[in-house]
Amino acid sequence: MRKRENRAPRSGSGSSRRLKTLRVFASVRDRRKGFLLVGGAAFPCALGRSGIGTSKREGDGRTPRASLPLRSVLFRADRIGRPRTLLPLRAIGPRDAWCDDPGDRRYNRLIDRPPGEAEERLTRDDHLYDIIVELGWNDAPVIAGRGSAIFWHLARPGFTPTAGCVAVERHVFAKVLPRLGRRCRLLVS
């Protein structure tokens, strides 16, 4: 019988390389664009049309300045393969929407909605929501009107502004999602 050796884990393996924090900051040239810092790499990103702000209200176009936990990953299984991640993962269905009505008791939650009704539809014709990381904003507890549906999703060509989300190119998700720890946070400063 062979004797086992006590070896330290290799630096490139497992949880020792899991990311705990991602950072986002605005560009000095255009407050609606910025950079996502992941370890030693920087990726361009789109921010809200009103830039980053400390006070957030529904529809104001601000990306909230906050430390945002990564809650889950939602993806379009009809468009992309299952993402590699340790975060909770769910395929987006045709009836999935996000409630952005401050008067609704389900405000800032994933809801079931028949096609055609208002709300933030997750099955979009464009590809912005092919992959979404739900960010923990205004969800513990939910306060009506303080902002909903703050996501990390795919960017439009040219990184045009979002409604308050953080948006990156598709290849960034493939590189970053497998490296995220379960308690990773997105720090927007």
pLDDT digits (tens, 9 = 90+) for 51-96: 999 999 999 999 999 999 999 999 999 999 999 999 999 999 999 9
The amino acid occupying position 166 is V
Of 158 and 2, the one with more pLDDT: 158
Check if CATH label 2.40.440 holds for domain 18-188. yes
Is pLDDT at 2 greater than 70 in this prediction? no
Residue 68 host element (H or E): strand 67-75
Residues 6+ apart with CB under 8 A from 161: 32, 33, 46, 47, 48, 49, 61
Average pLDDT over residues 27-37: 97
Cα–Cα dist 154/167, whole Å: 5
C-alpha 51/C-alpha 57 separation (Å) is 13
- pLDDT at residue 139, as a whole number: 96
**How high is the pLDDT of residue 17?**
79
Residues 51, 63: contact at Cβ < 8 Å?
yes
DSSP state of 175: H
Sign of CA dihedral 13, 14, 20, 21: positive
Highest average pLDDT, of 3-12, 96-105, 131-140, comes from 131-140
Q: What angle is formed at CA 181 by the lines to CA 26 and CA 21, rounded to 5 degrees?
A: 25
Distance of CA 16 to the CA centre of its chain: 23
Residue 117: predicted pLDDT: 66
Whole-number average pLDDT of the chain = 91
* pLDDT exceeds cutoff 60 at 15: no
Would the pTM of this model clear 0.85, i.e. be above it? Answer: yes
Taking the C-alpha atoms of residue 189 and residue 184, their distance in angstroms, rounded to an integer, is: 16
pLDDT score recorded for residue 119: 72
- What span, in angstroms and rounded, lies between the C-alpha atoms of 4 and 100? 57
pLDDT at 120: 86
